Chain A
Amino acid sequence: MNLHRPRQTVRAAGPLAVAAALALAGCGAGATTPDSATPGEGTIVVGITADPTQTLPWTVTSKQAIQVLSQVYSTLLDTGENAEPVAGLAELPTVSEDGLTYTFTLTDGVTFTDGSALDSKDVKHTFDLILDPDSKATSASYFGSVESVEAPDPQTVVVTLEQPDASFPSGLTGVNTAIVPADVDPSTLEKTPVGSGPYAWEKRTPNQSITLSRNDSYFKGKPGAAELEFRVIPDEQAMVSALRTGSIDVTVFDNPITARTAATGDVESTPVDSLSYHVLQLRAASPVLEDVNSRLAIQCAISRQEIIDSAALGAGAVTGPITSPEYRSDPAAQPCPEQDFAKAKEYLAKAGTPDGFTLKLMTSQGLYSTAVDEAQAIQAQLAEVGIEVEVQSLDSSAYVDRWLAGDFDAAIALNGGSADPNTMYARYFTSGGSFNKVAGYSSDTLDTLFAEGVATTDAAERATVYQQISAELVDNAAWVWLFTPKLFLVADSAVQDLEPRTDASLTGLWKASIG
């Protein structure tokens, strides 16, 4: 599953805002019954299904590694309620008139867990590492417009861009841009991470667990538990058993059924929103989907709600292209907001294929639990208007290979979202984007709009631009956007002050304590 959505998981690392929190405010944060035990002591055990092997922040892609490293490292910026960047290790930057110079002032007195001070040379060191091709940083794409990083004095960092890039600050909130100490060699960090996060690395037993201990000098306050253990329990059913018997305290499920079975007795499940989105990717570049009317016919024949109800068991919300909270697309603003077979037939006739056509649809069982069910639901719906769907269910490696190569007509995908709409889609829908071959659609209008959006710093102006982009995408049925899923933060009631964050990010876990 991680194979398919590293971006989303990368985003999950950032202290993303609690879009869900508004809706869930009444549900509290999982913990309601304070026990008599002294808060602040004890160990919180977090269950994870795979061993997080990646330990260098800038290379991190797996969900589990992000969960662990976000406890050990801090980022230059964090995110607020609406996923917008807010102060982290540094205050929000001052930006020059031309939008090219970002000046960051670091919080005073922050130290790494080895006792050394965190200052501007560490930030410069980290960013230079990310920019160096040899360090194989997954975060390098956030730094695409960076020209230089300077550290004029210990508290000040100046980043100069080659061209204005309004999405740059949001990139600094992910754990793959977290600050590492300049005087510790990466090969040492790989074995023993040293950060300035709420917990310090204690020990790791491969395939079994990672233990962290409280960082008493954490710059945001005193973390809630004396120890944090990430324990590997590979099987979801076993995870449920471990939760129910109290062996583990917190975990995240993406499968609504598993979450429901787990939530009994002292175990509570809190659904949280996700920025990622389920989508039917169409490649306009392939002959069968070349005609916009063929693509619109598909959009009209699909009932998104029915897919949520059947494939995802109701755990999701219909979505348009942009899921970033501040720029969210109106899901109803598209040529066919609801299923409309008559209109689908009209489009088919306009495309010159009144009796439908045959579409090859690629999916994979190995990526996430509902992928094949979604493909089958779409197959059944499109059959109603004569579009015959051949579902190709591939192994996850084969799927990723063909996906990256753009070697498909249509694909079921769960793509990662972002707080910044440019980060979300410029790589797919600009003609020079790294994933444009995968997206299979671009136009001069989109190129112009994306360039405008990233060069504009005014929030209201930006929002207008991305609304236009969103409309352009659905009017041309570049893809058919289906729904955003729910994730489930599941915890024992002894855990207090556990914050349900978007994408079930554990960046707020440091506040939680166990009674």
Chain B
Amino acid sequence: MTSLRTAFSHPLPRRVGEAAITLLGVSLLTFVVLRVVPGDQITAAYGIAAGELSPEQIRSLQAYYGIDQPLPVQYLGWLGGVLTGNLGISANSGLTVAALTAQALPNTIELAVLAIVVGLLLGVPGGMLAASRPGRARDGATQLGSLVALSVPSFLLATAVATFLANQLGWYPNGEGYRTLLEDPWLNLQQMLLPATVLGISIASPVLQTTRAAILGIRAEDYVRTARAKGVPPRRLQVRHILRNALIPVVTMTGLQFGFLLSGALVAEQIFAIPGIGRQVLLGLNQQEYAVVQSTVLVIAAIFVLVNLLTDLVYRLVDPRVRVR
């Protein structure tokens, strides 16, 4: 017992334990919310034709979709499946959720990584630029730009950009049918360009603000003054002493944004026809495919938790102060 308590007082097992509880909570919440929504898989699949099904047909359908069981049995059955590696099947398409996820997840991860790259490429230099002369015109312009980027809804930007390019340049690679990075790298990157840019612009703004605030905060630190007094060259001071430390909160921010992108890429996926995980959830919701939604949301939550866990670990590496708690 004591050894167990000791084990859990250590940060890592405790974090893992917390993560497991979080995921359990997520799964329970998803399960309940899905059942609270009016209608079920039968009305979703048959629409008003559900009114013409005979009682035997309805019973048979309920058994088929597994919704004839009491709710706790449904939940535990699904959870038991997940714990033994069976994410369930999509009743409409007859495919396993694992197979669907294996196909969709890499596309979303690729999109998220590219969007992060765009976000960092815009946000970090932008933040440095803004912080270089705080309160001056350059700062104001950069901040205004970031505010505008944050305020324009991504669906609007995405639609406007895509329509403009298609009409003016006749260029719309996303209509060609999606190709994965392995199947056709050149077409894939073209198809990813617009959604990654649109998503990247929306995350550049928080990255920029974080970078700017962190740089300004660190520049005021005693050790920076000391380093400057010691005659450290300005360039080295900027990069080694200020930027490196300023990136710690940016890493956290990036980790959070990555998690957000896994589910938040839905709009871009929908508009640019990228068959990703967000669309899988949406499709599951439209068809009230409980197993698809529950398992996919759990996968997304698991990745989110994992990324946060990793961010924490990276934090420990770059910032010795966090190592002891």
Contact = CB atoms under 8 A, between A and B. Distances in A.
A358 interface: no
A397 B288 contact: yes
A162 to B, nearest CB: 16
A400 interface: yes
A24 B155 CA distance: 37
A427 B52 contact: yes
A244 B172 contact: yes
B56 interface: yes
Contact of A238 (B44, B53, B162, B283): B162
B186 interface: no
Interface residues of A, number: 59
Given A207-B279, A241-B162, A61 B92 contact: no
B177 interface: yes
A286 interface: no
Interface string B280-306: 100100111000000000000000000
A241 B172 contact: yes
A201 to B, nearest CB: 14
Interface string B79-110: 00000000000101111000010011000000
Contacts of B50: 400, 404
A503 B178 CA distance: 29
Given A134-B60, A244-B166, A434-B51, A238 B272 contact: yes
A191 B99 CA distance: 14
A210 B94 CA distance: 15
B178 to A, nearest CB: 5
B175 A233 contact: yes
Contacts of A235: 159, 270-271, 273
Interface string B143-182: 0000000000000000100110111001110111110000
A398 B36 CA distance: 11
Contacts of A61: 45-47, 49
Nearest to A366: B286
B163 A241 contact: yes
Which range contains the number of B residues in contact with the other chain?
Answer: 35 or more
Given A61-B49, A234-B279, A401 B39 contact: yes
Nearest to B271: A235
Contacts of B53: 136, 138, 140
Given A397-B37, A401-B39, A233 B162 contact: no
A359 B272 CA distance: 42
Interface string A197-231: 00000000111110000000000000000000101
A137 B49 CA distance: 10
A434 B52 contact: yes
Interface of chain B, main secondary structure: helix
A242 B103 CA distance: 23
Interface in A22-65: 45, 50-51, 53-55, 59, 61
Interface in A112-129: none
A435 B44 contact: no
A395 interface: yes
Contacts of B272: 238
A206 B57 contact: no
A6 B38 contact: no
Contact of A244 (B37, B92, B103, B170): B170
Contacts of A435: 48, 51-52
B54 interface: yes
B174 A238 contact: yes
Interface of A: 2-7, 10, 45, 50-51, 53-55, 59, 61, 133-134, 136-138, 140-141, 187, 190-191, 205-209, 229, 231-235, 237-238, 240-248, 395, 397-398, 400-404, 427, 434-435, 438
Given A50-B286, A231-B177, A397-B37, 19 more contacts: A3-B43, A54-B92, A133-B56, A206-B100, A234-B273, A238-B172, A238-B272, A238-B273, A240-B166, A241-B162, A241-B165, A243-B175, A244-B166, A248-B175, A397-B288, A398-B39, A401-B43, A404-B48, A427-B52
Interface of B: 37-39, 43-54, 56-57, 60-61, 64, 90, 92-95, 100, 103-104, 159, 162-163, 165-167, 170-172, 174-178, 270-273, 275, 279-280, 283, 286-288
8 contacts: A235-B270, A237-B163, A241-B172, A242-B174, A395-B38, A397-B288, A403-B48, A434-B51
